[in-house]
Amino acid sequence: MSKKLVKAIADMREEEALKLVREMVEGGSEPMAILDAARKAVDIIGQRYEEGTYFLPELMLAGEMLNQITEVIKPEMAKVPEVKRHGKVLVGTVEGDIHDIGKNIVSFMLDVNGFDVLDLGVDVSPQKFVEAIGEFQPQVVGLSGFLALAFDAMKETVEAIKTAGLRDEVKIMIGGGQVSDEVRKYTGADAYGKDAMAGVSLAKEWVGAK
């Protein structure tokens, strides 16, 4: 079933993909397994885009499909008993970048793992992050970015947080497609998370949650 789902998403068969997801949820499949299949499909879509067989409309449809799939499995994830709230995390895709599939998964995983999440959306300016830290007072800030251009925006965001005198108030993690530990060093963030669960582990470690 999950192989069928990978193929349906990768081949842009939206209706079939959503039908399969619903069937998998009803059949008791693990929500994480469904998300994993969706991620594999996006990798294939990315390869096809790089090879020139897919173009921007396919990437956009992929984004839409991923968001719809997340909506279908959200109620299932929320059923996982998790009463204790650990702390607050501010999340956003940095300025100039509009990729949000990865960020949405990170927000969602933080939420179901007991964090109060404020998601600022995409193309978020350093100033907007600074203002939101002042208002929301998170312990952790998560910056997402998928473009090489995003590395500078991440660096500028970390610097703006520093200039505003808030750097000691928050731990900053970064992530997204091409982000690595090298990029982390360049931006001055505290850590790099390779996927959503890595983000959850970092946030838990920083707020002292088990």
68-107: which residues touch ligand B12 (CB under 6 A)?
A: 96-103, 105-106
Binding residue (CB under 6 A) for ligand B12 from 3, 15, 27, 56: 56
Angle (CA) 143-81-196 rounded to 5° is 20
**Is position 48 an interface residue for ligand B12 (rule: CB under 6 A)?**
no
DSSP state of 155: H
- Closest separation between CB of residue 184 and ligand B12, Å? 10
d(CA 46, CA 41): 9
**Is position 159 an interface residue for ligand B12 (rule: CB under 6 A)?**
no
- Give the residue among 114, 90, 85, 86 at the shortest CA–CA distance from 103: 90
Binding residue (CB under 6 A) for ligand B12 from 26, 50, 51, 168: 50
* CB 166, CB 134: distance < 8 Å: yes
- Closest separation between CB of residue 35 and ligand B12, Å? 8
**Is position 193 an interface residue for ligand B12 (rule: CB under 6 A)?**
yes
d(CA 195, CA 198): 5
Question: Across-strand partners of 192?
Answer: 174
Please give the residue ranges that form the binding site for ligand B12 (CB under 6 A): 39, 42-43, 45-46, 49-50, 56, 59-60, 62-63, 96-103, 105-106, 142-144, 146-148, 173-178, 193, 195-196, 198-199
